[in-house]
Amino acid sequence: MLRTYITSVSVGLLRAVKLALGVLCLMLVGCEQRSDSLIELGGSTMGTYYSVKVAHPPGGVAAEQLQAQVESVLDTVIAEISTYEETSELSRLNRDPSPDWIAVSAGLYQVIAEGQRLSALTDGAFDITIGPLVNLWGFGPEARRARVPNAAEIRAAQDRVGWNKLALRATPPAIRKARADIYIDLSSLGEGYGVDRIAALLNTQGITDYMVAIAGAIRARGVNAKGQPWAIAIEQPMPDRRAVHRVVPIADRALSTSGDYRNFFEHEGRRYSHEIDPDTGAPVEGNLGSVTVIGDTTMVVDGLATALMVLGAQRAPALAASQGLAAYFIVREGDDIRGFGSPAFQRYLAQ
């Protein structure tokens, strides 16, 4: 797995920087950056990139050793919950035809249970059994095919979807599928789960000032190398450019952004993104370009950002307000965009 390092730019701009640095680091194998006040690690994972910044590293923390530990955590997460690895625990569960309880690891159970909680919260708009529809629309592990499925294909995939088709048993952890062909997709939670697992590793090392990111899922603790809160960029939901919409400072919080402007295809003038509405069986429509959620743990805010994207600009703000969720919405209005926060998000806008 290629390991590259990423300089400190706003997270929203990281992808472009990673590409440039990827080339640079290909020439300098094993390049890394460390100054007295900052260790920066990074590389590819889950089809995207990760970044770990440790400010004021405690004595005895060696960058190379930390990098190896971080990658071991990522390898464990992928082995548990990836649908892109056929040998992962989740892929084996998806292939298991048993109608009985199927024992699962505590890690996989934790992610599935959070998915079911979010389904209940959003009345099924968020649904981890969405996999057959995600794959039908070409956003899953199979090869990308930018085409619009027909109504019969959508109906057939929808028959396999439904969070009420999964039963959970906490002790010992196990899952029971109402249909053998249920296909669980944890991509909406997995990046956040990976960030939380890396943060837990850093905490055990006595590291108190860090920022961990996997794509748009971020967790920050303490302060940056300058002794200030970590500043996270929310980018404009524009597919053709990278521009910062606003910067929010966070300390000891997690943040995640979901949107319709990075992973999509266009057909006959319409954009089809990877956020799928289980009710219609199709990518969500509407003018909500992105949702950013701030909260305690990254897996939760990662899933909530997807859930609110699927609910759309009409329903999502009301749920955020009623549930006290700190969410920031960016909607498209003609050629313009407008951002607004839920009541619980206002404290981040005032800073």
Q: Pick the piece of the chain touching ligand FAD (CB under 6 A) from 195-203, 230-238, 305-313, 329-337.
A: 305-313
Among 91, 94, 110, 188, contact with ligand FAD (rule: CB under 6 A): 188
Q: Does 216 bind ligand FAD (CB under 6 A)?
A: yes
* Contact (CB, 8 A) for 114 and 304: no
Contact 249, 230 (CB under 8 A): yes
Residues 349, 314, 324: CA angle, nearest 5 degrees: 45
Closest separation in Å from C-beta 49 to ligand FAD? 10
Query: What letter represents residue 127's amino acid?
Result: D
Q: Which of 302, 311, 292 is nearest to 349 (CA)?
A: 292
Cis peptide before 132 (omega within 30 of 0): no
Q: How far is the CB of 306 from ligand FAD (least distance, A)?
A: 4
**CA-CA distance, 231 to 53, in Å (whole number)?**
13
* Residue among 17, 39, 52, 77 that touches ligand FAD (CB under 6 A): 77
- Cβ distance 292 to 257 under 8 Å? yes
Q: Given the rule CB under 6 A, which of 59-67, 78-86, 145-153, 230-238 is the region that contacts ligand FAD?
A: 78-86
* Number of residues engaging ligand FAD in binding (CB under 6 A): 32
Using CB under 6 A as the binding rule, whether residue 128 contacts ligand FAD is answered as: yes
Convert 193-222 to b/e letters by CB count within 10 Å (16 or more is b). bbbbbbbebbeebebebbbbbbbbbbbbbb
Report the nearest approach of ligand FAD to the CB of residue 228 (Å). Answer: 26
How is residue 88 annotated by DSSP?
S
Nearer to ligand FAD, 40 or 114 (CB): 114
- 161 forms part of the interface with ligand FAD (CB under 6 A): no
Position 114 contacts ligand FAD (CB under 6 A): no
The answer for residues whose C-beta is within 8 angstroms of residue 330's C-beta and 6 or more apart is 234, 236, 237, 245, 259, 288, 289, 290, 291, 337, 338, 339
Strand boundaries in 107-207, DSSP class E: 166-169, 174-177
Distances from the Cα of 283 to the Cα of 147, 264, 273, 311, 314, angstroms: 12, 9, 6, 11, 16
Q: How near is the Cβ of 261 to ligand FAD at its closest, in Å? A: 10
Using CB under 6 A as the binding rule, the residues of this chain from 252 to 291 that contact ligand FAD are 258, 263, 274-276, 278
CB closer to ligand FAD, 11 vs 25: 11
Q: Counting contacts by CB under 6 A, is residue 186 touching ligand FAD?
A: yes
Considering only 78, 136, 220, 327, the residue that binds ligand FAD (CB under 6 A) is 78
CA 130 – CA 329 distance, rounded (Å): 24
- What is the distance between the alpha carbons of residues 87 and 67, in angstroms, rounded to a whole number? 24
**Rule CB under 6 A: which of 46-75 touch ligand FAD?**
46-48
Q: How far is the CB of 115 from ligand FAD (least distance, A)?
A: 7
Pairing of strands 38-45, 33-35: antiparallel
* Among positions 9, 34, 38, 84, the unique one binding ligand FAD when judged by CB under 6 A: 84
Among 191, 209, 235, 260, binds ligand FAD (CB under 6 A): 191
Q: Least separation, in Å, of the C-beta of 112 and ligand FAD?
A: 12
Give me the residues that bind ligand FAD (CB under 6 A), please.
Answer: 46-48, 77-78, 81-82, 84, 126-128, 130, 134, 139, 185-188, 190-191, 215-216, 258, 263, 274-276, 278, 302, 305-306, 310
